[in-house]
Amino acid sequence: MRSNGRKRPNATRPVKAKQPATRCNATSSLPWKLVSTSHQHTDRLGQVIGRVLRGGETIALYGPLGTGKTTLVRGIAQGLGASPMAVTSPTFVVIHEYDQGRLPLVHMDLYRIRTPRELESTGLTEYFSGLTVTAIEWADKGLAALPQDRIEITLHHRAVRRRTIQLLATGPNSDQVLARLRRQYSKTSGASRVSPRQALNREATTRS
Ligand SMILES: Nc1ncnc2c1ncn2[C@@H]1O[C@H](COP(=O)(O)OP(=O)(O)OP(=O)(O)O)[C@@H](O)[C@H]1O
Ligand SMILES: [Mg+2]
């Protein structure tokens, strides 16, 4: 796992918001849970997400250090036609903008945000308009400022290369995106039809 000079104890402390904020206020569909068996697999999912976006979406990314949030954003950038190599997980810079793709992409990393004032100073809310797609790592630090309708993606470690990735729509627009994503993903990858055990066996075969 990459350390990034980041310390785990602070990683889970949320920014205090005046208004109580919840992860998901208006779930409009059931969560979609996938198992990724490699960083390429996560990257591919990101690419399909990038291809089905129509503009203006907010993608809130949750999950511990090194679970693949940046990897997924890199795939999204590629799916949008932007350079995936440009996408890094910034240690001190909170916001990166990418304009080379089909839609503008803003990649934020709120890991170091500690207070509502710091959150405000990022100008985060100004990005939630027009066609700009926003992908936000450590979105739990900015919950109070996020649009109601968003795609929530939660990643967890399961093994060295294995992650669970759960996607949830919290409003009608993100619901449509997820519906398109599920259709496209099932066309472009057999992974969604493969059980975790089959996927692992497949990986083991590839490695040997
Ligand atoms: N299935 C997988 N999906 C994504 N990344 C994986 C997977 N298996 C292994 N990895 C590795 O895990 C690391 C994930 O790093 P990444 O920077 O994407 O995580 P992150 O969640 O953005 O971390 P941080 O919270 O520090 O920003 C990479 O080194 C990647 O190669
Ligand atoms: Mg990251």
- Give the CA dihedral 203, 177, 56, 163, nearest 10 degrees: -20
- The pTM of the full predicted model, rounded to 2 decimals, is 0.82
Q: What percent of the chain stands above pLDDT 70?
A: 72
Residue 61 CA: nearest ligand 1 atom is 21
Question: Cβ(51) to ligand 1 under 6 A?
Answer: no
Closest CA to 184 of 102, 84, 106, 79: 79
For ligand 1, whether the C-beta of 175 sits within 6 Å is no
Ligand located closest to 200 CA: 1
**pLDDT for res 96:** 86
Residues 9-59: tens digit of each pLDDT: 344 444 443 444 556 544 557 899 999 999 999 999 999 999 999 999 999
What was the pLDDT predicted at 83?
77
Backbone angles phi, psi at 135, to 5 degrees: -120, 120
CB 119 within 8 A of CB 17: no
Select 27-207's CATH number: 1.10.760.10, 3.40.605.10, 3.90.110.10, 3.40.50.300.
3.40.50.300
The answer to whether the CB of 137 is under 6 A from ligand 1 is yes
What is the position in ligand 1's atom list of the atom closest to the CA of 65? 25
Q: What angle do CA 67, 69, 70 make, to 5 degrees?
A: 120
Q: Which atom of ligand 1 is nearest to the CA of 74?
A: 18
Which residues, in sequence order, are bridge partners of residue 157?
A: 163
Nearest CA to ligand 1 atom 2: 39
205 Cβ contact list (under 8 Å, min separation 6):
none
Q: What is the pLDDT of residues 167-182, one digit of tens each?
A: 999 999 999 999 999 9
